[in-house]
Amino acid sequence: MQIELNEIWHNKEKSWIKSLKKTYLEEKDVLVKVIYSMISLGTERTIITQNFSNELSEQMAVPYMKGSLMDAFTYGYSVVGEVISGPEFWIGKNVHLMHPHQDFIIVSEDDLVEVPEGINLKSATLASNLETAVNAIWDSEVAIGDKVLVFGYGLIGGLIAALVNQIPGVNIEVAETNNHRKGLHLAHGLPERSMNDYDIIFNSTCDQKALQEALSLSRHEGKIIELSWYGSRNTTLNLGSEFHYGRKQVISSQVSQIPHKKLPVWNYTKRKQLVFDLIAEIDFSYLLDNEINFKDTPEFYKQLRRNEIKNLSTIICY
C-alpha cells in the first residue's frame, strides 16, 4: 500500500511540475526542487516578532520575498536545491541562492550559484553565513599573535571562531552565557574567556551588556566588531570611562557590503567562490546540530518566537 501511495504521489508530482513548466517558466527561468534551507535564527526571530523599524523593512527583505514585512510575508535565507527545469546548462545541477523557505521555487538563472562537486549539500547551506563571517574577519584585520574573543557561540560566532582558529599564533576564546552552547564550544576545543586586553572582540549576541563588557575587555586601541542587528531596541552604552581615552573602536560589520579596503580585489562573486572553497577545506558539519522537516516549521517558528531555540543552527529538510 505504501509503495502504491508513493507511486501515485510521484505521478502527481511529475504532472504538476510539467504544468508548472508550461504555465510559469520564461526564457531565463529555472525550476528548483529545494533540498535544504538554512534558518537564520537571530534575523528571522527579529523579523517574525517585528522588532524593527518600518524604515528598515525594505532593506531586510530577501530576494523573491512575497508580501510586506509589516504585514503578511514569506521569508527565508540560504537555499540549496537541484535544478529540474530550465536552460539545458543548469539541468541536474545543485545550486545555492537566497530565497524564502519553499519546496519548489522558480527563479532567474542569473541568481544561481552552482554548488561545486564534492561539497556536502547540508554544509552548502552555510555559504551565506560564511560570507557574514568572512566579512567580519576582513573588518577586524586579525593578524598573527592577536588575542581574540568571540562573544556568543551561535552559528555566526561558531563560524568566526572556526576561521580565526585556522590563523597561526592567534589566541582565541569564547564568552557564552547559555550552558548548552557553552558546553558545545568547550567540546569544540574553544576555551572560555580567561584574560583581559583583547586585541579583537567579535560580538554576535545582540546583547548590549555583552557589547559593554567587550568595551571593558578590549585593549588600548582594541577593536570590537559588532555583528548584531538590534532591530528597534534602544542600546545604551557607557562611553565615559575607558572608551574615549582608550581610543577603542566599535566597527559595524554587515554582509551586504564588502569592506571598502577589499573592493579593489574582491567582489560578491569572488567572495561566494571563497566561501565554497572554505567549505571544501574545513569541516563545519559539527555546527549543523539541528534538522527539521518542512512540515514541522510552523511549530518550530512558534518556539523561535518564544526564544526557546538553543541550537547553533537549524536546517529545513524537504
**Domain at 158, CATH number:** 3.40.50.720
Q: Are residues 80 and 173 in the same domain?
A: no
Number of domains composing the chain: 2
Q: Are residues 152 and 251 in the same domain?
A: yes
Q: Are residues 242 and 139 in the same domain?
A: yes
Q: Are residues 93 and 214 in the same domain?
A: no
Q: Do residues 51 and 140 touch, judged by C-beta distance below 8 A?
A: no
Q: Are residues 24 and 135 in the same domain?
A: no
Question: What's the predicted TM-score (pTM) here?
Answer: 0.88
Q: Are residues 151 and 83 in the same domain?
A: no
* Cα end-to-end distance, the chain, whole Å: 23
Please check whether residue 200 lies inside any domain of the structure. Answer: yes
Q: What is the mean pLDDT of each run of 10 residues along the chain (318 residues)?
A: 41 60 72 97 88 71 86 91 95 97 96 96 97 98 97 96 97 95 96 94 92 94 92 79 88 93 95 98 96 96 94 96
Please check whether residue 301 lies inside any domain of the structure. Answer: yes
Domain edge (last residue) among 218, 245, 260:
260
**Domain at 100, CATH number:** 3.90.180.10
Separation between Cα atoms, residue 82 and residue 91, nearest integer Å: 8
Q: Do residues 291 and 315 touch, judged by C-beta distance below 8 A?
A: yes
Q: What is the pLDDT of residue 23?
A: 58
Phi (first) and psi of residue 45, to 5 degrees: -70, -40
Please check whether residue 280 lies inside any domain of the structure. Answer: no
Interhelix angle 297-305/41-48, rounded to 10 degrees, is 80
Q: Using one digit for the tens of pLDDT, what is the confidence trace for 214-270?
A: 999 999 999 999 998 877 777 888 887 788 888 999 999 999 999 999 999 999 999
Q: Are residues 135 and 254 in the same domain?
A: yes
Q: Do residues 79 and 107 touch, judged by C-beta distance below 8 A?
A: no
Strands in the chain per DSSP E:
29-39, 76-85, 94-100, 104-108, 113-114, 147-151, 171-175, 198-203, 218-226, 249-252, 291-293, 314-317
Q: What is the pLDDT of residue 61?
A: 82
Q: Using one digit for the tens of pLDDT, what is the confidence trace for 14-32?
A: 666 666 655 566 778 999 9
Domain edge (last residue) among 260, 276, 309:
260
Q: Are residues 254 and 141 in the same domain?
A: yes
Q: What is the pLDDT of residue 182?
A: 95
Q: Are residues 208 and 306 in the same domain?
A: no
What three-state secondary structure class fits 84? strand
Q: What is the pLDDT of residue 7?
A: 46
Q: Are residues 9 and 119 in the same domain?
A: yes
Please check whether residue 278 lies inside any domain of the structure. Answer: no
Phi (first) and psi of residue 201, to 5 degrees: -130, 125
Q: Are residues 78 and 169 in the same domain?
A: no
Q: Which residue range(s) make up the domain with 107? A: 2-126+288-317
Phi (first) and psi of residue 223, to 5 degrees: -115, 135
Q: What is the pLDDT of residue 60?
A: 77
Please check whether residue 107 lies inside any domain of the structure. Answer: yes
C-alpha cell, 147 = 588575542
Please check whether residue 279 lies inside any domain of the structure. Answer: no
User: Closest Cα partner for 83 from 110, 105, 116?
Assistant: 105
Please check whether residue 227 lies inside any domain of the structure. Answer: yes
Bridge partners (DSSP) listed for residue 32? 83, 105
Q: Are residues 61 and 6 in the same domain?
A: yes
Please check whether residue 101 lies inside any domain of the structure. Answer: yes
Strands in 5-45 per DSSP E:
29-39
